[in-house]
Structure 1
Amino acid sequence: MKYQARRKAILLLEDGTIFHGKAVGGKDGKAFGEVCFNTGMTGYQEIFTDPSYFGQIMVTTNAHIGNYGANENEKEAETAKISGLVCKNFSYFQSRPAADETLQEFLDRSNLFAISDVDTRALVTYIRENGAMNAVITTETENIEELKKELSDVPDMNGLELASKVSTKEPYFFGDETARFKVAVLDVGVKKSILKHLSTRDVFCKVFPYDASYEQMKEWEPHGYLISNGPGDPQPLTKAIQVAKDIISEDKPLFGICLGHQIIALANGISTYKMHHGHRGINHPILNLETGKGEITSQNHGFSVNKEETEANTEVVITHTHLNDHTVAGIRMKNKSCFSVQYHPEASPGPNDAHYLFDEFIHNLISQEVSA
């Protein structure tokens, strides 16, 4: 009985809509954030620890969560980054020999509040129709008016700077210091998997805080630069945008992923906007316009790059497009060693379709080395 979620809980949306459920583990709790959903059938631990999800309440569309537990090697950050979890069926026991602990133990250790037994199909349909919005999940089910008041004080994701909440406070190194290449990474919410992919390609990384200047990064004399994924609105990140401008002006190899992609667009005078409910899942179809090939990709973003402004920009070409809604999924600068994508090439959502992007970045590093 100790493992069954018996205590009543609710999810209250900012428009007053209520969904009912039960608290995982039967514990009291409360969590605020922007509610969003991920359509992945697997990979929940990677989702929960992805810094890009900071400030968001995650709704998982797969009916069963927790069945394969948690593994220390599958974290994208040291701690959970989501604000809270909403699911249909929560498994208190795991059946995978490789698991280090149950998902409940992981959530408890992360001090993360979760509710289950929610009609997630109805909830996701509601978000699809009405858009992402702030919400609270709580066991305090009696005083709805007080909850509404507290919820009204939660800042909107539009215009919200969150990179500072997840970025490293001090620079650190990742990989083999004897590697052929050195890459300076601007950490606006970097996933460990990105650093691992670079490391396996003979790259030694130095990861810098979100507010580092180009001069600070340049002093290390790297062969190239990467601007990482991350949470929140890209427009308030004026220092990161300036870093991108400085790197581009000196034509150093630059690769941007997700939030980094948006920062590079802003550095080129292309605006970004908040999407209706974003792209979050592991089966998003992308068309590579340069090769004509399709890619199945992992995505997690609530902001996008303005397509009309990108098409009108004489310095930038669209390289990838999202086949569901034709949003910009990748850009490349015509006369600079700079490109970026609005999805996660480090992820392996079954296929490894997007891993080649790291190889392209390495090719740019080699070209820079040869020209020097």
Structure 2
Amino acid sequence: MAKSTQSSAASNGVPTGALVLADGTVFLGEGLGAVGAADGEVCFNTSMTGYQEILTDPSYAAQIVAFTFPHIGNVGANNEDIESSSPAASAAARGAVFRARPTLPSNWRAEDDLDSWLKKRNVIALAGLDTRALTRRIREHGMPNAVIAHAPDGKFDLEKLHARAKAWHGLDGLDLAKEVTTAQSYVVNEGLWQWPLGVPEVNEPKFTVVVMDYGVKRNILRALGEIGARTIVLPATATAEEALAHKPDGILLSNGPGDPAATGVYAAPEIKKLVDSGKPVMGVCLGHQMLGLALGAKTMKMGQGHHGANHPVKDQSTGKVEIVSMNHGFAIDTATLPKGVKETHVSLFDGSNCGIELEGKPVFSVQYHPEASPGPQDSHYLFERFAKLMKKKSK
């Protein structure tokens, strides 16, 4: 069955974790976190920090994240850095792959060690394999479907795991927003975390922003609070009429997982109505892709996607290069952008689309994560741009 097998024994000499790819390749190592098996698409993330934010980002639903940085876990985990905002999105990533076994935490903010934290969140992890070899496979052949498994006794039915990996449908055509979105609306009045105060409350909001929750990250809500916004978070299936009934100053289309074309079946028509309302609209990640769909563009699946906190993006209007945080496996097909929709940002890695705006209207979106959690803060200005649009519209 297996084309190749790479293994790393656990402390007792028996591999207790396995990653079985759909093509038959098997990676063995030390199982960590939850016990059991989970299927998903394997991607690699190049971030050197922020593993907790990554693993709790709802955009990673149905994915297994392989970390290229070898030392993961040394700052432990805490409740303040969890990025999932809705209880429905508590699982986020289905699995995690590490080069070395996570060390015990050494950080004053740590409330738990990574292994225990993974168990509590029901995330299966694997340590001790050659993540460089896995990353090279993804770079050359694309993101594979796979099953990650953890068995403390080291007993695996590799044939069965391989059949499961081959049978998994993958992300194409998969609407995951409904699985991670909030079940009911809620209000957030928080700003960005500050040392030593923690998370401040926004006592006198300047704006009301409705967030269409396709898998929103908590730090996006806090970044909105930082510009003085009171945010009302609505489910992914909410209609434009329901959103506008809150009399918002602006609407944010959030990040999220899955195939944008699948979620766009029900979301894109509502987004088009929001655009036509004249309200300022800002899109992030999946929200960016679905804004493109609503405006008449098409999306496409990427080979290896963009996952990391060191991606260079060029602002076409200013020539400025930003280093940004990214997490996406789909992209807007630039060739399909209709007249009146301007490409504003491009990736300097592969030239793929990273931003659009609707000419003559207060509507824009970006493929990357301006809330920078984790990642550099080069793009925080986009929230200020959103605030200026809302302020101008309210006059």
Matches within 5 A, 1:124-139: 124-139=135-150
Question: After the TM superposition, which residues 112-151 of structure 1 pair with which residues of structure 2 at under 5 Å, given as runs?
Answer: 112-139=123-150, 142-151=156-165
Deviations, residues 310-331 of structure 1 (Å, cap 9, x unaligned): 2xx2111111000010001000
Hey, what does 1:54 align to over in structure 2? 61
Paired residues for 1:176-215 under 5 Å: 176=202, 178-215=204-241
C-alpha distance in 2, partners of 1:281/1:323?
14
Change (3 A) 1:86 1:351: closer
Residues 1-372 of structure 1 correspond to what in structure 2 (within 5 A)?
7-24=15-32, 28-77=35-84, 79-139=90-150, 142-175=156-189, 176=202, 178-237=204-263, 238-310=265-337, 313-347=338-372, 351-370=376-395
Q: CA deviation at 1:335?
A: 1.5
AA at the equivalent of 1:297: V
TM-score normalised to structure 1 length: 0.94
Aligned to 1:137, what secondary structure does the other structure show? Answer: strand
- Change in Cα spacing, 1:190 to 1:147, as seen in structure 2 (3 Å) is same
Q: Which amino acid aligns with 1:57?
A: I
Q: Give me the whole-angstrom Cα distance separating, in 1, the residues matched to 2:122 and 2:57.
A: 16
Q: Secondary structure at the match of 2:210?
A: strand
Shift in Å, 1:143: 2.7
Q: CA 1:269/1:135 → structure 2, altered by over 3 Å: closer, same or farther?
A: same
TM normalised by structure 2 equals 0.89
Counterparts of 2:183 and 2:373, CA distance in 1: 29
SS at match of 1:52: helix
Query: What is the DSSP-based 3-state SS (H/G/I as helix, E as strand, rest coil) of the residue aligned with 2:262?
Result: coil
Q: Are 1:37 and 1:61, in contact at CA under 8 Å, matched by a contact in 2?
A: yes
CA distance in 2, matches of 1:342, 1:351: 15
CA RMSD of superposed structures (Å): 1.8
**Structure 2 unmatched runs, 5+:** 1-9, 190-201
- Which stretch has the larger CA shift, 4-13 or 318-327? 4-13
* 1:352 shift after superposition: 1.4
How many Å apart are 1:144 and its aligned residue?
Answer: 2.4
Distance between the aligned counterparts of 2:353 and 2:376, measured in 1?
Answer: 21
Q: Once the 2 structures are TM-superposed, how far is the Cα of residue 298 of structure 1 from its aligned partner?
A: 0.2
Q: Is the 8 A contact 1:92 1:104 kept in 2?
A: no
Residue type of the alignment partner of 2:106: S
Give the whole-Å Cα distance in 1 for the aligned partners of 2:11 and 2:230.
44
Q: Tell me by how many angstroms 1:348 deviates.
A: 5.3
Conserved in 1, the CA contact under 8 Å of 2:43 and 2:143?
A: yes
**Hey, what's the Cα distance between the residues in 2 that align with 1:201 and 1:278?**
30
Taking the aligned partners of 1:121 and 1:7, their CA distance within structure 2 comes to 19
- Would the alpha carbon gap of residues 68 and 144 (structure 1) be closer, same or farther in structure 2, given more than 3 Å must change? same
- State the distance in 1 between where 2:319 and 2:15 align: 52
- Give the match for residue 198 of structure 2: none
Instruction: Tell me: CA distance 1:190–1:142, structure 2 relative to 1, closer, same or farther (3 Å).
Output: closer
Paired residue secondary structure (2:269): helix
Q: Hey, what's the Cα distance between the residues in 1 that align with 2:103 and 2:214?
A: 33
Q: Give the AA of the match of 1:83.
A: R
Deviation at 1:249, TM superposition (A): 1.3
What letter corresponds to residue 234 of structure 2 in structure 1? F
Q: How many residues align?
A: 366
Report if the CA contact (8 A) 1:7-1:139 is conserved.
no
